[in-house]
Structure 1
Amino acid sequence: MRPLSTLRVLRGTRRAVLVPGCAMLALLSGCDLAPAYHPPALTLPAAWGEDPVMRTAHPDDAALRPDWWTMFGDPVLDRLEAQATEANPDLNAAAESFTQSRDIAREAESKLYPQLTGGASGYKYKSSRKRLYRGGTATGPIYMSSEQYWAAASWEPDFWDSIRNQTRVRKAYAQQKAADYALARLSIQAELATDYMALRGLDAQHAVYTDSIAYYQTAVQITKMRQAGDIAAGIDVSRAQNQLYATQAADTDILAQRSVLEHAIAVLVNVAPGAFHLEPVPSLSFRPVALGAGVPSTLLERRPDIAGAERAVEQANRAIGITRAAYYPHITFNAMTGFMDNGFDLASLSNAMYQFGVGAVLPLFQGGLRRAELQRSWSQYRQAQDEYRATVLDAFQDVEDGLSLRTRLQTEAQQQEQAVGAAMRTQRMSMALYTGGLTNYLDVVVAQVAALTARIAEVKVQAEHLQATVRLIRALGGGWSRAELPGTKTIDPFGPLQYDGLHHPRPTGGIPVDTPPSADDLTRGGLTQGAKSR
């Protein structure tokens, strides 16, 4: 059994070893100089100012899915959306931008590891026999060879978490680019759906004009027959012809607008406009969509632009720590070893060479440079917070606008349907009275104009209601969730010791890492329905 004094000495020795050891471990683990980060806290309303038009008893049925366009029940739209998501060049470029941000994060993180280099060289030298200060009888060598190989290492311990904060900034930036990709995908999908619904609305208007043109052609024939029988005046024929030709001109304008929209859709799905055509349909036959807007607080988790703005706030927060670290000394360890000989006896220890050292850099006076950088970092942090709040406000405005439009447009569609019914009855009665000689043709023209205007207005408001639904879906995030953002541990595109399979990074966040094989084919069919008429 050891005496008490011996135990005290041993305990004191252990304490003397452990305390500096723990201090060294704490020093090597780094000291984070960035402020503690918390996402900006906002006071949000408890409910939306406008209630959704359509409700459902099952909240899960009204919840948005990533393939939200399938709720409209249009197979052509489904295929167009799938093709745009796969092959749209702007979307693929956004995916590549995310890949590059991951590589930038890997570059920043690589500085945490020792940097190892190696090299080898061999040289042969010859000097002139007549060189300066060499005597004519000199017998010294004029040839010399030098062969060497060496290895070097350098490492900067991240005492002040400067490198770690740079890595966190780059990873937060990569997450922001992932949110940008989700926003670009949602924007393209919403733009495609909006254009497609506008095109189908023009198809429905074309059907109305076609029906009206056939009706007006009959009216021209009737007025000509009545004029031939001396029952009607020539002015009736002129009025009927004017109505017919004006309607044909309006129909031609609709077809021109349709061509432009069709070209826009072709570009969105990565097809040359000349090789793309969608057959017209006579009416709007989309399925009614029930949407649940949820509570306002959930919008922060469903909008990719809000998530991206929040990631920018964290980047600015970490940048403060990087700027603060510049006030402290940066220490670097360097070492080099190798062999050098004028022949090939390199393995001999007598030919070994080495050097090692440690360096420290501490700013003493720079005329306010560091203070200006720190002040700018704090200002950029506050700016990022303000931009985050502005993004949230814009998002709330988008939702409120979408809810208001859906509510008002649905009411307007119902009112316009009643107006169409009344106008069509008036048109039939006016023509019947004119045929019977009980009224003049001016009353018929007025009734025809009112009926055509009401029918076109009805189609327009139906298309606008569909587009308002798409706008609201986009405002609600299109089924996206913040949980889809890649985690910081999955940002790295490859492992530190991975040297194969580097053509594409490891997939993360559901973002594609390679270009589809068919993305260069701008003339592919599949969605082209029939030959495009010229």
Structure 2
Amino acid sequence: MKPVKFILMAGIACTCILYAGCKTPALVQAPEAKTPPANFSNAPDSVNNSGVIKWKTFFSDSHLVSLIDTALKNSQELAITLQEIDIARNEMRAKQGRLLPFIEGGVGAGIDKTGRYTSQGAGDASTDITPGKQVPDWLPDYRFGITASWEADIWKKLRTAKKAAFTRYLSTIEGKNFVITNLIAEIANSYYELLALDNQLQIVRQTIQLQQNALNIVRLQKQAAAATELAVKKFEGEVLGSQSLEYDVLQKIQEKENKLNYLLGRYPQHIDRDTTGILNITPSQVAAGIPSQLLQNRPDIKQAALDLEAAKLDVKVAKSEFYPSFNIVAGLGFQAFNPSYLIKFPESLLFSLAGDLAGPLINKSAIKAEYYSANARQIQAVYNYERTILNAYIEVSTELSNIKNQQQIFELKAKQVDTLTATINISNALFKAARADYLEVLLSQRDALESKMELIETKLRQFNAVTNIYRSLGGGWN
């Protein structure tokens, strides 16, 4: 009857464990992720998408291509991101390892003294190993063997955890691609800013030359009593202001070169670049495609999608903690108090095999807390996925509008520059004929300089808009 009674008690215990494990608390359901609109409101419907163009093709400037290529080899930021991928890969391997049995081998030695007036000591005193010889009071212990333990993945908890780790590994790869996309865009924008500063420096130096010529004329007029000292001082002040502006532009060029060198992972040195000037080159044409293509092209959206998938798997893993786990432990080896007996078979053979089914019954607060936290992280991941898609759509829409408007601004600014440049020659001629005041000459030069500087900045914004929309479309990483 005793075996039957034992089996009955074990069955009752297993039933209680399984019932407690299957009873999991309810969760708040994660919302369904929203998808972007079918098309961009400020762009024609077309499947042509500049985001799929490789960066070496999209950027035609050989100097810029060389800079980007150097950055992709030397960038510390990219190298840090690659280590994140290695960390995620090792985490995936660790989860894979938990699916297999843990096997350990070992050897050991020790000594034990049992009190004679104990049940164990009294028993040892009557045990003969060799006829006429008792077990010694100081009893050595020698052993060697292997032990193994294995958790049977009956609820797929370990396999789900492994899949979550693999998904996060893929997410880190997309994170690396997103870093590459941003790095390429940042280098391109900095390069175009450097070209714009070169153009501005050229304009400032040309303006200084014009102002210096006007200053020489007004000095001659003063000597001829045709102008006053006030006019001379006004012209001198204008020249000094432009000269200080020249050094300001030179400082900005140095800062921009240093920034580019930092992005390239190298110490400051000269940046080779196009010398024709930013006003003489044309930005690349961009096709935005349709919004649904962002889901496949943008690394940050794909990363958010993978994070969402991993968060869903984490909920399943947390739920599995409510279920009982089945573990098997086994050992095999030899043990004796005398080295000469250690390899005697089967007398010194040590063998064990045990299996246990264990699950939470009472006080499951910690498991519930992790379960609720996993679900909250899943809901966070849904909102983060939606936010990433929304941000991508808005970025593309904004840059499409920016490209269109900057083109209109540039055309108007170019006409303004032509008009104000013409006023310089007119005012100089009138001033020489004593038909215009010196202030008109100064204002003409100043207005022309400002308009030329603004024209260069407008051209720069055109290039920045094209680069930014290329990044927003997911271009650069492939």
1:382 aligns to 2:379 (yes or no): yes
- Which residue pairs with 2:78 in the alignment? 91
Quote the residue 1:112 is aligned against. 99
How much has 1:455 moved relative to structure 2?
0.7
Answer yes or no: is 1:65 the counterpart of 2:59.
no
Q: Which of 234, 240, 259 is matched with 1:239 structurally? A: 234
2:247 corresponds to which of 244, 252, 263? 252
Deviates more, 1:193-202 or 1:366-375: 366-375
Q: Which residue of 2 aligns with 1:28?
A: none
CA distance in 2, matches of 1:417, 1:269: 34
Q: Which residue of 2 aligns with 1:352?
A: 349
Compared CA separation, residues 154 and 441, structure 1 to 2 (3 A): same
What aligned pairs does 1:405-484 form with structure 2 within 5 A after superposition? 405-480=402-477
| 1:343 matches 2:339 | yes
| TM-aligned CA deviation for residue 396 of structure 1 | 0.9
SS in 2 for 1:45: coil
SS at match of 1:327: coil
Q: Could you tell me how far apart the structure 2 residues matched to 1:448 and 1:282 are? A: 24
Equivalent position of 2:152 in the other structure? 157
Cα distance change on mapping 1:295 and 1:38 into 2, 3 Å: farther
Match of 2:106, SS? Answer: strand
Cα offset, 1:75, TM superposition:
1.8
List alignment gaps of at least 5 residues for structure 1: 1-30, 128-137, 482-534
* AA aligned opposite 1:154: S
Distance in 2 (CA, whole Å) between partners of 1:89 and 1:102 is: 20
Counterpart of 1:46 in structure 2 is 38
- Could you tell me how far apart the structure 1 residues matched to 2:340 and 2:62 are? 76
Aligned counterparts of 1:316 and 1:242: Cα–Cα separation in 2: 66
- Please state if 1:281 is matched with 2:285: no
Residues 151-160 or 435-444, more deviating:
435-444
Q: Which amino acid aligns with 1:238?
A: K
1:126 and 1:376, CA in 2 relative to 1: closer, same or farther beyond 3 A? closer
Instruction: Give the unaligned 5+ runs of structure 2.
Output: 1-21, 115-132
2:283–2:462 Cα contact (<8 Å) kept: no
* 1:411 Cα deviation from its structure 2 partner: 1.1
Give the corresponding residue for 2:287. Answer: 292
Which TM-score applies when normalising by structure 1? 0.75
Q: Kindly report the root-mean-square deviation, in angstroms, between the aligned alpha carbons of the 2 structures.
A: 3.0
Report how many residues are paired: 433
Kept in 1, the 8 Å contact 2:33–2:383? The answer is no
Looking at structure 1, the residues matched to 426 and 262 of structure 2 have their Cα atoms a distance apart, in angstroms, of: 48
Q: Does 1:102 find its partner at 2:102?
A: no
Give the C-alpha shift of residue 450 in structure 1. 1.3
Partner-residue secondary structure (3-state), 1:191: helix
Distance 1:305 1:225 in 2: 66
Say if 1:63 and 1:319 are closer, same or farther in 2 by CA, change over 3 A. Answer: closer
Q: Cα 1:244–1:454, aligned 2, differ >3 Å: closer, same or farther?
A: same
Q: Find the aligned partners of 1:382 and 1:393 in 2 and give their Cα distance.
A: 17
Cα shift readout 1:204-230 (whole Å, capped 9, x = no counterpart): 100100111111111111111121122
Secondary structure class of the residue paired with 1:42: coil
The CA distance in 1 between the partners of 2:134 and 2:165, in whole Å, is 64
Measure, in 1, the Cα distance between the counterparts of 2:393 and 2:244: 42
State how far apart, in whole Å, the 2-side matches of 1:64 and 1:111 are. 40
Q: Distance in 2 between matches of 1:418 and 1:323?
A: 67
The one-letter code sitting in structure 1 at the alignment partner of 2:302 is: A
Letter in 1 for 2:344: S
Give the drift of 1:59.
Answer: 4.3
2:74 aligned with 1:80, yes or no? no
TM-superposed CA distance for 1:279, in Å, is 6.7
